Amino acid sequence: MPDADRPLLATRDVSFGFPERPEFLKPVTLELRAGQCWGLIGPNGAGKSTLLRLLAGLASPSGGTMQLNGIDLATVPMRERARRIAFLPQHMPRDLANSALDVVLMGRYPHRTLGLFESAEDITIARRCLTLTDAEPFAERPLATLSGGEAQRVHLAAALAQSPSILLLDEPTAALDLRHQLTIFTLLRQLAQRDGLAVVVVTHDLNLAARFCTHVLLLNDGRTIATGIPSAVLTPAVLEQVYAVRIAQVSTPGDDHCWLLPLAPTEDVR
Amino acid sequence: MVLAWTLALAGCNPAAPPTPAASQPIPTRIICIAPNATEMIGALGQADRLVGVSTFCLWPPEVKSLPRIGGLFDASAEAILKLKPDLIILRGANRGVEQICRDGNIRLYRDKTERFDDITRTLDELAAILGCPEKAREVRDTMNARLDTISRAVAGKPRPRVFITLARRPDSLGDLMTGSKLSFIHEVITRAGGENVFATMSMDYPRVSLEAILAAKPDVILEAMPETPESDSLLRSVREQWARVGPIPAVRSNRIHILHDENCLIPSPRIVDVIERIAHLLHPEADLARR
Amino acid sequence: MTTLAGPAATLSPVRYIASLGLCALMIGVVLFLSPGIGSKIEIASLGNAWRAFASGAGGGDDYAIAFRIRLPRTILALQAGITLSLCGAVFQTLFRNALATPYTLGISSGGALGALIAIRAGFEVAFFGISSVSFCAFGGALAVVGVVFLFTRGTRRLTTNELLLAGVTVGMFCSSMMMLVTYLSNARQTFEIITWMMGSLDPIGNMGNSLSWPLLIPAWAVLILSARALNQYTLGEDLAATRGVNVVALQGVCILFASLATAIVVAFCGPIGFVGLVVPHLTALIVGRDCRVLLPAGAMLGGVFLAVCDWLSQLTMPLAGWLTGRELGGIVLPIGVVTAVLGVPIFLVLLHRRKA
């Protein structure tokens, strides 16, 4: 079990730029700890996916430091990093001939250094992950024959099969129906709180973030607007500023939870 | 070579145009897109009537200073028109050139020299157009006299079995093209006192396999490599390649030769030089009275 | 990548060994039959060939035809087929493009340009037993690979599509230069150039199989050993990277070794088409897209395919002659024609069946 005091992954003033936009992501400081489920939210182009790619080690920051368990992330060997951090990109190939189980088994890659075939243990883990994401029924079917939502759950299972301590997901529920949006977010919350993972999920669904995440980070235009627990960050006042949308807060009877309801774009388009 | 090249790739012979009437004026600005016809015009002493030739024309020496209008497939219409020809000699089919002739009302002569006997026929036809039939007779008589000398010299001698390559892959013994009795090269070998091992094939220019050559047991192998410089290293490497094939009589007796003559595949009166050379290679002891 | 579906079952050691064992067996059968099959099939029959071998009669016609002409030819076909099919499968996976072939990066055009320049220049020298044409073809292919490879090492890493575009563009440039060289050549050279472009598996005067083994086998090994990393690549570069695959190194190593191996084949056999495109897809239809089995099985089937095509190139004309009562024995068709004529219909039929 990781040391509860030390963050699993910590960034300090991490910034990033493209050649044509050198100061795209302004310095971000973030500490991911075991048991946390972070929601990265913000309008299109706010830098959410960029930040997630930095955390995954897919891009090098132009400034600031990143540490995995106290070690500079850039110096961690790739395979070692892959055993700690799993990443699920927003767009995954769907037209593969491999079976769903095969795709999930491929997630075991960083755990095998030698040997050509998966072990019985790998297969057990893969099947358990498929069950977790409600994808077990089509384990034997080729990925290409699955619907978008089914394929998404298979890819999520593959990320879980990597047995990471940090799970990074880019809009994992974008293709899912209501039921699976809820089951996946419930699972993410569970993974964080019960299994001690640190989860970071990019999402556009403010209500899911508010309900299932332990923390949120609100980005706008590459700048960190607010970090903290959802009820502190996701207020209509803050969100109306960021999204330029009038937002109402409603609560359902018999439930103390508040729901955010977008009404209409505000007049002053920036 | 051009013959082989043309036959292999063009592969068709459109219907002959009506024979030009004898009353037509004698052309003075000729473009010749057939190396063998160019040589015949040279042999007829009419080279000064040529104003342009193909890139593949080699002889007579006058062509060296003439404009080149391209090959059979890439003949340049612009270059042809600029030369204002009154006769175009074409081998094979070329729609562009045919169109030029129709549009510009330019006489077109189709060279159809396929077999050995066609050489004298084409010569006569060209002489008729150029108005010098006596010269054609003279050239033919000289040719026949020399051919008779050769056939007398090789008569009664055992005829070695000859395999001739007309083309091949540059680097290995592959795609070896030879000629059957349907090709003019067959007669070249026969008149030189040899026996063409692939005479009976049903294709004029077949590409034969190594095992077919091995089975044919040639006594002599001739490799036609026109326009290559004579060099010991080339001959050595060719002989080494054949040595690796296996038990061929020609390999055992080291009778593998390269024909470097630039015209060795061009069916024109000059081919007699090549027949003489081959006869000398096949029958070194024969008295050929070489020039 | 537009993938053609194949079996989706998880790879087990049993299925792995069964698949590869069957392919190896097919290679064995090809090698056994090889001494008995050629354009003059009526001489040196299979029985006579092996009898001549057993009796040690190295000087006879049967022995010479079987073991100095036919078997080396088949071995060359196997080498070339294995290489082209393997490199095709690797490039299709690496570029996630079903149309990728070993020649996608312009290797064949570069090789052809080199060979053409050698033919045009009339080099007749051989270096270490390799003809100048092969030598220059290899050089040309390497030059193209070098240019494309340097492209990948720039400050900004190229996307897969940009890499493909770079390769195709360089290939087109070489093709244009080939036209120029052809234009400047005389009749014999032009003819040789066309002949060279058709591809050939004639072993004599060529390479010496011995020479290409030490170059090809390491390349085969490296590519086949990259299978697991390449599998990750099918999910996308980003995911492969977060799974611990060094994508830059993998791309570099695969491009380098596949190109080297292809360059060797182009240098010795000329650009033989279709094997590298069709056989990997055919194999995937049978064994699935898992690179662990696709790469070795595709390689072996590529060898078998090219060897069979070579037999057809030798047997078609004699058979046609026999049927029509004409003398056509011993005539060989260009190998590139046969690979297309055989490969394309098989492929289209399988493709159609899969969709139905």
Please say if the pLDDT value at position C57 is more than 70.
no
Structural domain contains residue A221: yes
Domain assignment present for residue C86? The answer is: yes
Q: Does C62 touch chain B (CB under 8 A)?
A: no
Burial class (CB in 10 A: 0-12, 13-18, 19+), B246: buried
Q: Across the interface, do A86 and C10 touch by the CB < 8 Å criterion? A: no
To the nearest whole Å, the CA of C2 is away from the closest chain A CA by 7
Domain total for chain C?
1
Residue-range definition of the domain harbouring residue B214: 157-282
pLDDT-based confidence at residue C207 (cuts at 50, 70, 90): very low
**What's the half-sphere exposure (Cβ side, CA atoms, 13 Å) at B43?**
30
Are B124 and B66 members of one domain? yes
Residue C91 pLDDT greater than 90, yes or no? yes
- Neighboring chains of A (3 or more beta-carbon pairs < 8 A): C
pLDDT at A255 over 80: no
Share of chain A above pLDDT 90, in %: 59
Q: Give chain B's radius of gyration (CA, Å).
A: 20
Measure CB to CB from residue B214 to each of C64, C122, C134 and give the nearest one.
C64
C166 within a domain of the structure (yes/no) = yes
Question: Does the pLDDT at position A27 exceed 80?
Answer: yes
Structure confidence by residue, pLDDT tens digits, C98-128: 888 888 888 888 998 998 888 888 765 555 5
| Chain C touching partners, 3 or more CB pairs below 8 A | A, B
Between residues C212 and C81, the one the model is more confident about = C81
Question: Are A130 and A23 within one domain?
Answer: yes
Q: How many CA atoms lie within 13 A of C98 on its CB side?
A: 15
Q: Above 80 in pLDDT, residue A254?
A: no
- CA dist A225 and A270 (Å) reads 17
**Chains B and A contact (Cβ–Cβ under 8 Å for 3 or more pairs):** no
Q: Least CB-CB distance to A93: which of C12, C13, C236? A: C236
Shared domain check, B231 and B176: yes
Whether the predicted pLDDT of B1 surpasses 50: no
Is this prediction's pTM over 0.90?
no
d(CA A144, CA C4): 10
Report the SS3 class of residue C14.
Answer: helix
pLDDT at B9 over 70: no
Shortest distance between the Cα of C60 and any Cα of chain B, in A, equals: 7
Q: What is the C-alpha separation between A25 and A30, in angstroms, rounded?
A: 13
- Cα separation, B276 vs B291, in Å, equals 9
Q: Within a domain: residue C5?
A: no
Residue A91 with chain C: CB contacts under 8 Å: 236
Please check whether residues A127 and A90 belong to one and the same domain: yes
Preceding amide of A43 cis, omega within 30: no
Q: Tell whether C68 is within 8 A of chain B (Cβ).
A: yes
The answer as to whether C22 is a domain residue is yes
The verdict on B104 and B51 lying in the same domain is: yes
Task: Compute CA distances C279 → C10, C96, C273, whole Å.
Answer: 22, 16, 11
- Please name the residue ranges forming H helices in chain A: 48-56, 78-84, 100-106, 120-132, 148-161, 178-193, 206-212, 230-233, 236-243
To the nearest whole Å, the CA of A259 is away from the closest chain C CA by 34
Residue A1 counted as domain residue: no
Range of the domain at C257: 13-31+41-51+62-355
The answer as to whether A152 is a domain residue is: yes
**Single residue among B90, B115, B141 that ends a domain in this structure:** B141
State whether B173 and C68 contact (CB < 8 Å). Answer: no
Q: Which residues of B touch C40 (CB under 8 A)?
A: 209, 211-212, 215
Instruction: Please tell me the predicted confidence (pLDDT) of residue A268.
Output: 60
pLDDT in tens, C14-46: 888 999 999 999 999 999 999 999 888 888 788
User: How many Å apart are CA A101 and CA C219, to the nearest integer?
Assistant: 31
Q: Are residues A243 and A129 in the same domain?
A: no
Statement to judge: residues A181 and A257 lie in one domain: no
Query: Do B86 and B201 have their domain in common?
Result: no
A123/C96 touch (CB, cutoff 8 Å), yes or no: no
Let me know if residue B147 belongs to a domain: no
CATH of the domain at C82: 1.10.3470.10
Q: Are both B218 and B193 inside the same structural domain?
A: yes
Q: How far apart (Å, rounded) are the C-alpha atoms in residues A252 and A248?
A: 13
Residues A93/C240, Cβ–Cβ less than 8 Å: no
CATH number at residue A196: 3.40.50.300
- Taking the CA of residue B213 and the nearest CA in chain C, the distance in Å comes to 8
Same domain for A170 and A262, yes or no, is: no
Residue A3 lies in a domain: no
- The whole domain housing A244 covers 235-270
Average pLDDT, chain C: 85
Same domain, B53 and B82: yes
Nearest CB to B247: which of C44, C64, C202?
Answer: C64
pLDDT, tens only, B144-190: 999 999 999 998 899 999 999 998 887 778 889 999 999 989 999 99
Is B276 part of any domain? yes
pLDDT of residue A163: 93
Q: Is residue C4 part of a domain?
A: no
Q: Are residues A163 and A44 in the same domain?
A: yes
Final residue of a domain: which of B80, B107, B141?
Answer: B141
Q: How far is B26 from chain C (nearest CA, A)?
A: 31
Q: Would A165 be classed as within a structural domain?
A: yes
**CA dihedral angle for residue B264, residue B186, residue C329, residue C63, rounded to 10 degrees:** -70
Beta-strand relationship, A9-18 and A21-32 = antiparallel
Q: At B68, is the secondary structure helix, strand, or coil?
A: strand
- Total of domains in chain A: 2
Q: Are the Cβ atoms of C290 and A56 closer than 8 angstroms?
A: no
CB A211 within 8 A of CB A258: no
Torsion over CA: C325, C331, C337, C339 (sign): positive
A267 part of a folded domain: yes
pLDDT at C80 over 90: yes
The predicted structure's pLDDT at residue B227:
78
Query: Is residue A4 assigned to a domain?
Result: no
Residue C258 lies in a domain: yes
Nearest to C200 among B71, B169, B234 (CB): B169
Domain total of chain B: 2
Mapped onto helix, strand or coil, the DSSP state of residue B91 is strand
Q: How far from chain centre, in Å, is Cα C174?
A: 20
Residue B198 lies in a domain: yes
The answer, for A65 touching chain C at a CB cutoff of 8 Å, is no
Q: What is the mean pLDDT of chain A?
A: 89
Q: How confident is the model over B65-100, as pLDDT tens digits?
A: 998 888 777 778 888 888 999 999 998 888 888 888
Q: What is the DSSP letter of B236?
A: H
Residue B2, pLDDT score: 42
Nearest to C242 among A82, A102, A106 (CB): A82
pLDDT value at residue C204: 61
Q: What is the mean pLDDT of residues C291-320?
A: 94
Report the CATH number at residue B192.
3.40.50.1980
> Considering the domain boundaries, does residue C317 fall inside one?
yes
- What pLDDT band is residue A190 in, cutting at 50, 70 and 90? very high
Q: CA-CA distance, A174 to A152, in Å (whole number)?
A: 9
Residues A102 and A147 in one domain: yes
Return d(Cα C112, Cα C90) in angstroms, integer: 22
Average pLDDT over residues A173-200: 91
Q: Does A13 map to a domain?
A: yes
One-letter amino acid for residue C133 of the chain: V
Q: Which residues pair with A199 in a beta bridge?
A: A37, A167
pLDDT for A260 equals 87
Pair B20, B108: CB distance under 8 Å: no
**Cα(B106)–Cα(B108) distance, integer angstroms:** 6
Q: Does C129 touch chain B (CB under 8 A)?
A: no
Q: Which residue of B has its CA nearest to C37?
A: B211
B15 vs C28 pLDDT, higher one: C28
Rounded distance, CA B134 to CA C1, Å?
75
Long-range contacts of C151-157 (CB under 8 A, 24+ apart): C152/C251, C152/C252, C152/C255, C156/A19, C157/C248
In percent, the amount of chain B with pLDDT more than 70 equals: 91
Chains C and B touch (3+ CB pairs under 8 A): yes
How many whole angstroms separate alpha carbon C296 and alpha carbon C293?
6
